[in-house]
Structure 1
Amino acid sequence: MKNILITGGAGFIGTNLTLKLIEKGYNITVLDNLSPQIHGENAEEKSFLYLSIKDKVRFIKGNVTSKEDWVKALEGQDAVIHLAAETGTGQSMYEIEKYINVNIGGTALFLDILANSVNRIKKVIIASSRSIYGEGKYKSEKFGFVYPKHRTEAYMCKGDFEVKHDGEDKLDLVATDEDSKIHPSSVYGISKQNQEQMVMTVCPTIGIASVAFRYQNVYGPGQSLSNPYTGILSIFSTLIKNDKGITIFEDGKESRDFVFIDDVVRATILGLEKEQANGKVFNVGSGEAIDVITVAETLKDNFKSNAPITISGNYRIGDIRHNYADLNKIKETLAFLPEYNFKRGIKKFTDWVTTQEIQKSKFDQSISEMKNKGLLK
């Protein structure tokens, strides 16, 4: 398999993956619409991400919702890495039609073309997400392992942000494995669940190998610093660089698994190249939970900033409390272990941010949108 189509290949994960695959001798075609939300205006002249792959790939500016663009992009390909998607938990709760049309509709169109036309595709890799797990996995003294329901306003409006489980007072967070309950709490999560299930269901029936990667919170040099809808590392960094304070939702103890971009690229290539990956679903993360206060304080330290940190007590509908990845399956099957812990990865990220032009913060705009839609309390 030498000819690889990467949808969303001009995005953050896509460009890093593209450059590494080119280095390994692959021929890459990229299908990407150069979304202004990610790339800014006039992307073909100014986007750092796009310019990093320009003239190194066969580039098709198009949309995954267009059959014509899919047919053109698929010609002569041996494998597809399907990264293209609308991303952002909060935004997905009010731009519902767009998220469903692009993420679910675009994937359905892709699979329909594969199922009903002659092609030489041997493998499809789908970018899934930790968001499909919802609140993740916990250990209960009474019930063993449990998967709590989504948090309710009845508790959160009183400042009680922890997850609840019927009849249990104490829950201990544990790593979420691939066999954990799937119960997304956002439209984005629902769309990623559907993407994953469609690919893993359809491809085997038409003789195509399939692999799904449930990425945790991916970060690193090259990610968008102007997109206010995804990635607290970018949001907080841009606020700091604009000499603004950091506002943290809930009580700041909510946590995420932050996985460095180089590890994500390495895991994805293992999925492409190893037959042992075929037909399987893998978590890709760092395997450690980092709370949001630690994120903010680490960024302040690395940027040598005095920006104030405010714990607001506000909360967003659809946000989860905690989630971090169990990596045993990908370790045992693909011999993958992350090379970057949070301290090492965040240093590389902040060193890169310091070299970039300061972006205008759009955080306040995104907050106003969520308030107007009743999603920020």
Structure 2
Amino acid sequence: MKQLIDKLKTEHRLTKEEWITLIENRTPELADYLFVQAREIRHKYYGRDVYIRGLIEFTNYCKNDCFYCGIRKSNGNIPRYRLDEDTILSCCRSGYDMGFRTFVLQGGEDGYYTDERMTHLIHRIKTSFPDCAITLSIGEKPYDSYLEYYNAGADRYLLRHETFNETHYRTLHPPQLSASNRQQCLWNLKEIGYQTGTGFMVGSPHQTAEHLAEDMLFIEKLQPHMVGIGPFIPHHDTVFAGEKAGTLELTLYMLGLLRLMLPKVLLPATTALGTIDTHGRELGILAGANVVMPNLSPRDNRKNYSLYDNKIATGEEAAEGKAKLIRQMESIGYHVVTARGDSLMDV
């Protein structure tokens, strides 16, 4: 198995069969070997810097009914909210004063936020904070909408493809959503010029090693600037409430493999990783990740952006959260930096 890891490190690609073999036959010893290689590559391109993104969860309304998601439209047990423009700008101001130079606007697919409203919001943020990057994570949109946001000043877009396999995708989503359309959205984003991010859930219901292999092949072809992965965590108000969560072990393993396949990619240690293990984000960094996304949303709203159960939503102020994060990263030999933290994929 080490030979496959060495091949991935030098050639940055494997066949589907090799991916399956490497995923199915992992061991703790092999994972340790992988993480050493992943850190070596991560240090080569990004040193020991950890980029921070200020996450602003600005709406938990969503028109979709994805089977795994706590903010799915049919969940009537969650209080819904929308942040107004001034509140969002206030979150950005607080983040800017703390050293954040990227703001991630994340929300459900909320029809209230028309293209006109979104472009106005983007323009206001960009005018107020011209040295900052704006990342959007608001789902599937028509090409022209993506173009409008880009022209208004959006720099990056996160759209996890969740799973490449169409059959598997249908087990996770209602019939009106398709894997092929979601993938086309990603190609559109790249064509427009966004720094584009994708990703998948690890350990989602019915997932196989073959599905993960297909995810890796798709990502290799797409060559995204960012890849966000995290373990599937069930939510009690969804049809998958009784399913097992994805594991820390497999998620870290896939992070290491992604770092070797895409040496210059931006790779977050996600909130979900920190949710399933107290030290999940630190372990993610040690597996090859180089981005973390602390929450700048108002404290009262965080618990209601409930994508999955037990999501980290502390009562800490954002400044307290950042100070804690700095200590966590320093404890493992890394340091949080104040920078836009652009991807090196195009360099």
Q: Verify same fold: TM over 0.5.
A: no
What's the TM-score once normalised by structure 2's chain length? 0.35
Structure of higher CA gyration radius: 1
Q: Which has the higher strand share?
A: 1
User: Structure 1-normalised TM-score?
Assistant: 0.33
Higher relative contact order (CA 8 A, sep 6+): 2
